[in-house]
Amino acid sequence: MRTTVMTTGLAAGCLALAGCGLTATEATNTELSDTTPDSGLPSKAGDQRAALLSAFFGLDNGLFQVANLICNDAAGKDGMPVIFSTEIDHTTMQAGDFKVTTAAGKTGTMHCVSLLPATDAGELRTVLLIGEFGNADGDPPARVELVGNLHSIDGKLNFKGASAKVTPLKPGPSLVLAQRVSSAEVDKGLGLARTKGTTCPAEGVAQQIRVVWAGGVTLPNGDEPGDAERQLYKVTVLDASDRPREIIPVALANLSDGDNNHVLCLDSADTAVSVSFPA
């Protein structure tokens, strides 16, 4: 699979709250109605568009007990990460903003929504929907729609009306987005003790590329990706004469936080144009 590196814009994981000064309420919402006023924001501004890039039926009645730290009684429910085209303003996010429709046309039951565990700077585009959205083998979820006012992080876009077809559970997550990591990205302080990802080496790195997957990216046995997975990433870059070549990251970062993001640490400053990873 290959995805183009964006030049604009800058499976639920471990959630240990013990010893951490924050609570999940800052990144989680259980309000089943839209409480954000309609301020007339557009769905498109300049080269930015308010869109849902993906929705992945990641867990069918499979959320673990630790999910109760996100919101009460989340364990045993469905989990569905949805990816936005930009980071979002979490203060405009309510559970009632989202509607899930099954293949048979039934409306799913929303329980709560959360940005956890993808809460590092630059990551606030993945929202985990928790509730009862259908069954993988019977009547699976088919579409997610934004029915409430939910704004982009810069306050320029409204995602109301955006929708996405749901990727079934069996195919697994895919690579959705790649973008350059920018020093302008801001950490909103929404993360917990175990949701802070690792960083690139201090030396030998010329640029960093964030890749966003449709769902969690730990290995099937629960381990973090390692050197073998690092070598599977291929980044196409253009030199000063616009000649393309493929390079491999010198390191993988943003690990050990249980989210759906990796950071590719590159030793070349050549312009990155696309990222691929074998299906």
Averaged pLDDT for residues 249-269: 95
Residue 205 lies in a domain: yes
Cα separation, 26 vs 55, whole angstroms: 23
Using alpha carbons only, what angle is made at residue 35 by residues 216 and 192, rounded to the nearest 5 degrees?
A: 35
Q: Are 158 and 185 members of one domain?
A: no
pLDDT at 16: 27
One domain for residues 202 and 266: yes
Q: How confident is the model at residue 218 (pLDDT cuts 50, 70, 90)?
A: confident
With cut-offs at 50, 70 and 90, classify the pLDDT of residue 24.
low
Residues 33 and 127 in one domain: yes
Domain assignment of residue 246, yes or no = yes
Sequence-distant contacts of 25-29: CB under 8 A, at least 24 apart: 26/90, 26/189, 26/190, 27/90, 27/114, 27/115, 27/116, 27/119, 27/190, 27/191, 28/70, 28/71, 28/112, 28/113, 28/114, 28/115, 28/116, 29/93, 29/94, 29/95, 29/112, 29/113, 29/114
If asked whether residues 130 and 191 sit together in one domain, one would say no
Same domain membership, residue 149 and residue 48? yes
Residues 104 and 221 in one domain: no
* Judgement on whether residues 225 and 145 belong to the same structural domain of the protein: no
Q: What is the C-alpha to C-alpha distance for residues 13 and 189, in angstroms, rounded to an integer?
A: 18
Give residue 11's pLDDT band: very low, low, confident or very high (50, 70, 90). very low
**Residue 9 confidence (pLDDT) above 50:** no
- Residue 51 counted as domain residue: yes
Residue 270 lies in a domain: yes
Could you give the number of structural domains in the chain?
Answer: 2
228 part of a folded domain: yes
Query: E strands within the chain?
Result: 2-6, 28-29, 44-45, 48-49, 52-56, 78-84, 98-102, 109-114, 126-132, 141-146, 163-167, 175-180, 207-213, 234-238, 244-247, 251-253, 261-266, 271-276
Whether 224 and 265 map to the same domain: the answer is yes
Give the C-alpha separation, 82 to 276, whole Å: 21
Tell me what pLDDT residue 223 has. 84
Domain termination residue (choose one: 144, 167, 190): 167
- 4 domain residue, yes or no: no
Q: Are residues 196 and 218 in the same domain?
A: yes
- Asked whether residue 66 falls in the same domain as residue 143, the answer is yes
Domain shared by 134 and 34, yes or no: yes
Please state, rounded to an integer, the average pLDDT across all residues of the chain. 90
pLDDT band at 249 (very low <50, low <70, confident <90, very high): very high
Say whether pLDDT at 224 is over 90.
no
User: Which of 139, 167, 195 represents a domain boundary (last residue)?
Assistant: 167
Q: What is the pLDDT of residue 216?
A: 86
Give me the CATH number covering residue 110: 2.60.40.1220
Tell me the backbone φ, ψ of residue 3, rounded to 5 degrees: -135, 145
Residue 29 tokens read as 């919402």
- Rounded CA-CA distance 20/18 in Å is 5
Q: What percent of the chain has pLDDT over 90?
A: 78
108 within some domain: yes
31 in any annotated domain: yes
- Three-point CA angle 149, 154, 158, nearest 5°: 25
Angle at 190 between CA 14 and CA 250, to 5 degrees: 65
Say what the pTM is. 0.90
Domain region containing 162: 14-167
Instruction: Give the end of a domain, one of 167, 184, 205.
Output: 167
Provide mean pLDDT across the span 178-195: 86
Same-domain check for residues 58 and 142: yes
Helix locations, the chain, DSSP H: 227-230
